[in-house]
Amino acid sequence: MRGAVDGLGNPFPLGEQLPSVYADDDFAQRFVGGLDDLFAPLLSVLDNIAAYLRPELAPPDFVSWLGGWVGAELSGDESDPDLRAAVSGAAAMHRHRGTVHGLAEAVRLGFGIEPRITESGGMSWSARPLGPLPGEPEPRLEVRLTAAQARSVDLARLQALVASVRPAHVPCSIVVEKS
pLDDT in tens, 46-97: 888 998 899 999 988 889 889 888 888 777 788 898 889 888 888 888 888 8
Instruction: Look up the domain containing 39 and give its range.
Output: 24-51
Domains: count for the chain: 2
Q: Is residue 39 part of a domain?
A: yes
Q: How many CB atoms sit inside 10 A of residue 34's CB?
A: 10
> Model confidence at 25, in pLDDT bands (50, 70, 90)?
very high
Q: Is residue 141 part of a domain?
A: yes
| Residue where one domain finishes, among candidates 33, 51, 69 | 51
Q: What is the pLDDT of residues 118-154, one digit of tens each?
A: 998 888 888 888 878 888 888 999 999 998 888 888 8
